Amino acid sequence: MGAGLRVSRQRGPAPKAGIVHLGLGAFFRAFGAVYIEEATEKSGGDWGIIGVSLQSPTTRDLLAPQDFVYTAQELGPDGSRLRQIEILRDVLVAPESPEAVLAAMADPAIRIVTLTVTEKGYCHDPASGTLNMEHPAIRHDLTGDLPQSAPGYLVRALQRRKAAGLPPFTVLTCDNLPDNGRLVKGIVLELARRIDPDLADWLETEGRFPATMVDRIVPATKPEDVEALAARTGYLDAAPVMHEPFRQWVVEDDFVPAYGKDACPDLGAVGVELVDNVTAHEHMKLRMLNGTHSPLAYLGYLAGHETIAETVADPVLAAYVKRLWTDEIIPSFTAPPGVNMAAYADALFNRYANPGIRHRTWQIAMDGSQKLPQRILGTLRDNLAQDRACPGLLTAIAAWMIYVGGTDLDGRPIDVRDPLADRLRTLSDGASDAQGRVAALLGVRDIFDAGLADAIRPEVTAAYERLATGGVHRTLEALT
């Protein structure tokens, strides 16, 4: 790298574009983009990526001056490794140029649209998994040709492809949602049917929506990460991504058949598991990892811990999460064949404890209303059906309730980020005691169904009271 100073392309131009990615956050840049680059290096193919930011221009503005090249910094317990990622060709900002995004998605060279738009980006009702027709962006997209939502972009771009006589692209969701392929298919078909029933029929037969399980811990990049990297390399990368060494991608092998062997990069050559069905892997990952990440985030935050590594360095929280795995989570589902759940839990604990990864409890606590159903409530339901007690998970729900009330246990305000934040806060403020708050929050049908809410109310109320009066440590010590 010459003097001066900005990271730049070292390996020649990126391959021609074959993928459009919606929702270009740190996770995809540290995960899917890395696998796709490695697969293309190994086996060739035109699999350059056009990234799309659905909201803000920040990532594009940081990446454009460095020709969309960036560093992926792997942070292990014993030091870090750098890899320069050059597979990204361009970044489009949807609100600035929706037409350019649709044109890119409708381009015949594009065979896959990958998505990491986060749980709320699907504009669905988290409890039922169906499209929320009242969502403002969906209401807009039902009539406007230039969409605002991720489902809107998918449907309008697929409509253009059908009109042009092209095959659809494969829709490859990489978000942490249960049965994510079927969920996105249902949402796309629902919206398509309202807009153009022939399009929905066509997608029903020609469309492909493989489910995936994605796993790599990628905390948001902080200004000090950018500075430390520049001090190490001697040049500026304004948008590096920080990630742990571990990664796992399990993908249903079901791509649009019209493209034959060019339907997908050679992901199998770089360690991606291509399978017939991802359900067992998805249950394992969502319940074991995300299903403990959220409890650790709420309880860790309320205990005064800034990161997950700090949280699991606290012996009380470490004992809590281990009990959660053995007593409440592992017995709730069928593990993928050949995977030992005790070993998986041990490995997860070590990943959480990695001091190189500064993953803020506040970051994971975001959007809890969209995360709790698939992370915790399914496990709870399965345990209830088998009469298995869940004191740990119910305490986590109580901690979430305190968190969304907007004030921590020492009376300090919490910066709650959640699409339902205002509503949750109003419900919490409107009640005068723990019992009232728990009842009001359990009444949010977007999250809790009535049967589950009734079944867990007494125990969540008791946990809420214990946390509010005794604090996190005393409450968890009493559990374990």
Instruction: Say how far apart CA 373 and CA 375 lie, in whole Å.
Output: 6
Task: Tell me the closest approach of the beta carbon of residue 359 to ligand CS2, in angstroms.
Answer: 7
- At 214, which amino acid appears? V
Q: Which helix (H) or strand (E) holds 92?
A: strand 88-93
Q: 6 by DSSP, 3-state: which? A: strand
Q: 230 by DSSP, 3-state: which? A: helix
Residue 372 is a binding residue for ligand CS2 (CB under 6 A): no
Residue 364 is a binding residue for ligand CS2 (CB under 6 A): yes
**Identity of the residue, 93 or 357, whose beta carbon is nearer to ligand CS2 in the bound complex:** 357
**Identity of the residue, 216 or 283, whose beta carbon is nearer to ligand CS2 in the bound complex:** 216
- At 17, which amino acid appears? A
- Could you tell me whether strands 17-22 and 170-173 are parallel, antiparallel, or unpaired per DSSP bridges? unpaired
Task: Tell me the closest approach of the beta carbon of residue 309 to ligand CS2, in angstroms.
Answer: 13
Q: Which of 208, 293, 305, 358 binds ligand CS2 (CB under 6 A)?
A: 293
Instruction: Say how far apart CA 107 and CA 164 lie, in whole Å.
Output: 10
Task: Tell me the closest approach of the beta carbon of residue 328 to ligand CS2, in angstroms.
Answer: 18
Whether residue 104 contacts residue 156, with contact meaning beta carbons closer than 8 Å, is answered with no
Residue 290 is a binding residue for ligand CS2 (CB under 6 A): yes
Residue 21 is a binding residue for ligand CS2 (CB under 6 A): no
Residue 460 is a binding residue for ligand CS2 (CB under 6 A): no
**Identity of the residue, 161 or 216, whose beta carbon is nearer to ligand CS2 in the bound complex:** 216
Instruction: Say how far apart CA 54 and CA 441 lie, in whole Å.
Output: 30
Q: In what order do the strands lie in the sheet with 79-85?
A: 79-85, 70-76, 241-243
Q: Which of 40, 176, 370, 374 binds ligand CS2 (CB under 6 A)?
A: 176
**Identity of the residue, 111 or 216, whose beta carbon is nearer to ligand CS2 in the bound complex:** 216
For tokens 């709420």, what's the residue? 298
Q: Which of 37, 38, 90, 215 binds ligand CS2 (CB under 6 A)?
A: 215
Instruction: Say how far apart CA 226 and CA 79 lie, in whole Å.
Output: 16
Q: Which range binds ligand CS2 by CB under 6 A, 80-88, 153-161, 228-236, 287-295?
A: 287-295
Q: Which range binds ligand CS2 by CB under 6 A, 4-12, 95-103, 210-218, 406-414?
A: 210-218
For tokens 């589902």, what's the residue? 333
Instruction: Say how far apart CA 264 and CA 126 lie, in whole Å.
Output: 30
Residue 216 is a binding residue for ligand CS2 (CB under 6 A): yes
Site for ligand CS2 in 180-199 (CB under 6 A): none
Q: Which of 105, 137, 217, 330 binds ligand CS2 (CB under 6 A)?
A: 217
Residues 6+ apart with CB under 8 A from 60: 51, 53, 91, 92, 93
**Identity of the residue, 289 or 302, whose beta carbon is nearer to ligand CS2 in the bound complex:** 289
Instruction: Say how far apart CA 414 and CA 182 lie, in whole Å.
Output: 35
For tokens 């092998």, what's the residue? 253
Task: Tell me the closest approach of the beta carbon of residue 250 to ligand CS2, in angstroms.
Answer: 12
Whether residue 211 contacts residue 278, with contact meaning beta carbons closer than 8 Å, is answered with yes
Residue 376 is a binding residue for ligand CS2 (CB under 6 A): no
Residue 356 is a binding residue for ligand CS2 (CB under 6 A): no
Binding to ligand CS2 by CB under 6 A, coded x per residue (else -) over 136-175, reads ----------------------------------------
Task: Tell me the closest approach of the beta carbon of residue 289 to ligand CS2, in angstroms.
Answer: 6
Task: Tell me the closest approach of the beta carbon of residue 429 to ligand CS2, in angstroms.
Answer: 26
Residue 244 is a binding residue for ligand CS2 (CB under 6 A): no
User: Residues 362, 368, 371, 376: what is their CA dihedral angle, to the nearest 10 degrees?
Assistant: 100
Q: Which helix (H) or strand (E) holds 214?
A: strand 212-215
Task: Tell me the closest approach of the beta carbon of residue 26 to ligand CS2, in angstroms.
Answer: 10
Task: Tell me the closest approach of the beta carbon of residue 282 to ligand CS2, in angstroms.
Answer: 11
How far, in Å, are 116, 204, 299, 397, 399 from residue 404 at the CA level?
Answer: 25, 40, 12, 11, 9
Residue 283 is a binding residue for ligand CS2 (CB under 6 A): no
Percentages (nearest 5) of helix, strand, coil residues in the chain:
55, 15, 35
Task: Tell me the closest approach of the beta carbon of residue 327 to ligand CS2, in angstroms.
Answer: 21
Residues that bind ligand CS2 (CB under 6 A): 176, 215-217, 289-290, 293, 363-364
